[in-house]
Each structure stands twice: as structure tokens, then as C-alpha cells.
Structure 1
């Protein structure tokens, strides 16, 4: 950039107006072009696209960071790196790659991730959550015990309906450690309210170290077991990933 160049009155006015419209990214990009003596070498559409894209990227990054913070991921830096292709992990990489496109979330389908302890279930689920966040979908990750506790607290504070409604509006809800909590009658009812509110229109990831065939016995009340499992395990409305390969903790040693 030529330090001897300066903006004209009209160019300064444009920058001022862009900033007054809260388009500081466009203002900065426009100013940078006006101070570049070689800017006119590029076609107008190319220059204008650069200005618009600069503003868009700033807004996208801010929104992504806000959504990421609200998601409460255990691994906010998780990604689908080359480790998913390690044969020892025994992963269905074709399915994972398709899931990363997030088309299943657009369709309101569920994902059930099961497998042995330390097989990387949580990390993989968080990586898929980040794929959704990059498309600016709303996401919340929560452990099953925490979910039950928050539902109980919401009932005590008379905010139960607001809490369940907020969960129902999320594009993706990831419930981890399913099966490590005792599902008494109240918890069965709470879980049903969450699942039923999302059924058919919003996607849910259920992560568990227990095989799906044993989930029915986790419910104290079998009527709710039937109702919940019919909504989340129906093969027409859910996908499945089994992770029974090597322990990631052992692999890192």
C-alpha cells in the first residue's frame, strides 16, 4: 500500500456511512482498495465481491464463535482428522463423511453412537456438532445426568416449559453418557418430554456405552421406554455408528 495515498472526501464519506450501518468490515475492505494504487487492475465485480466477502466473513466468524460457546462442547476443537481412518478403530468412515455434511440434520433424523469406553464417542460426536455449527446450526451438547438435573431444577424454578421449549428449538441436541443415570418415573417423564418435543423435526445424538438392545431396561417405567425408544431408535428416522475399536487412551500412550 502506498503511504502517500489518502482517501478523498467522497471515499471518507462512504467509509463513515458504512460504519454507521455497522458494516465496518466493508468499510475496512473499501478503504484498503481505495489506498491500493493497483486496485483498478481488477474488474469491478471482483473488487466488490472482495468487499462484501470481507464483511460476511467477519459476521460469520462472530456468529460461529457465539454458537460454539452456547453449544458447551466437551471438545470445542474436535475435528474429523486422519485418525478416523485408522483401521484399528473399526469405524464406518463413509457414513461419518456423509454425516459431516449435516444433511441428516436438515431431515430431522437422529444419530445413535454406541461403543466401548474410551473409543472416542464423545470426541466424534463433538466433531459432528462442530460440522453443524459451521453451517450455523444451533447445537447443545450435554451429559444425560446434567440434563436430568437441569430439568429438575427448571421444574423447581417454574421454568420447566421454557427449558423444554428451548431444547425443542435446537437444530441438534447431543446427549452423552446415556444409560449412566437412573431413570425413575420422573426422569422417564422428563426424557420423554425432551425427545417428544424434537421428534420428527429436530435431530438428536444419543451417545452411550451400552448397546441399543439394552436401552429398554434402563427405564424404570416401561411405558415411557416404549414411547422414547420408538422416537429415537426407529431405523427410518435414525442412523447408527458403532465404535468398538481400540481405546483412544491406550493409543495415545
Structure 2
């Protein structure tokens, strides 16, 4: 990825981003002698990638907060398949593979989470 050069196609990124992570990355690059051999475009591309990643992470955190989920850190690996919970490990594993997303199928899960 670092060998790609900036083009006019990158201008929408500059326009859309407010550049917080971009600025931090540019400063880090300027102070890192390992980056001295990078071209100017490589440095800018790297900083743009970092800004884009930071924006995505902030958006995800905002959506998680807005969802008001009781446990935003919950993950599929922490599910307890105890007797009486009526959880089928194979169904959960299949759903976790997210093929339902690829097929644009809605999914609603109802029931207790405890």
C-alpha cells in the first residue's frame, strides 16, 4: 500500500476528513528516521490511511454507544452454552459467520441474554 502515489482521486478524502489522526501521523512520520526514505506521497498516503481507520473506529464506538447495549464488549467466544439456555452452538456459529449479511437477509434474535 505504501508504494501508491497520491492522485486527484484522493482529494475527496482531504475534503471529508477533519484530519486529527492525519496530523498526529504526519508529526510521527516527521520525527521517525525510518520514514526518511519514503516518498512524500507515501507519507501522505500513510497518514490518510491512519485518519480513515481512526474515523471508522470512532464511528463504530459511536454506534455501539447509541445502541445502548448492556455489554458492548460482548463477543461470540464468550457465550456460555449451559443446559436450559436453548442455544444451539452450530446455529450460533453459522450466524457468526455473517453469511446472512452477504445475502442481505435481516436477522432478529429474541430472548433472554442471561
1:205 counterpart residue number: 108
Q: Per-residue displacement from partner, 1:93-148 (whole Å, max 9, x unpaired)?
A: 34323322333134343xxxxxxxxxxxxxxxxxxxxxxxxxxxxxxxxxxxxxxx
User: Which structure has the greater CA radius of gyration?
Assistant: 1
How high is the TM-score relative to the length of structure 1?
A: 0.31
Q: Per-residue displacement from partner, 1:201-242 (whole Å, max 9, x unpaired)?
A: xx2414147xxxxxxxxxxxxxxxxxxxxxxxxxxxxxxxxx
Number of residues paired by the alignment? 97
Among 93, 96, 101, which residue is 1:100 paired with?
96
Runs of 4+ with >4 A deviation = 41-49, 86-91
- In structure 1, the gaps of 5 or more residues are 1-17, 110-202, 210-247, 249-253
1:38 and 2:19 correspond:
no
1:78 counterpart residue number: 74
1:57 counterpart residue number: 53
SS of the equivalent of 1:74 reads coil
* Deviation of 1:45 (Å): 7.4
SS of the equivalent of 2:73 reads coil
- Aligned CA-pair RMSD: 3.3
- In structure 2, the gaps of 5 or more residues are 1-13
1:69 and 2:65 correspond:
yes
Paired residues of 2:22 and 2:47 also in contact (CA < 8 A): yes
Aligned counterparts of 2:18 and 2:71: Cα–Cα separation in 1: 33
Aligned counterparts of 2:96 and 2:41: Cα–Cα separation in 1: 33
Aligned counterparts of 2:66 and 2:23: Cα–Cα separation in 1: 29
How high is the TM-score relative to the length of structure 2?
A: 0.59
Aligned counterparts of 2:31 and 2:75: Cα–Cα separation in 1: 39
Which has the larger strand fraction?
1
CA spacing shift, 1:49–1:81, aligned 2, 3 Å = farther
Paired residues of 2:21 and 2:50 also in contact (CA < 8 A): yes
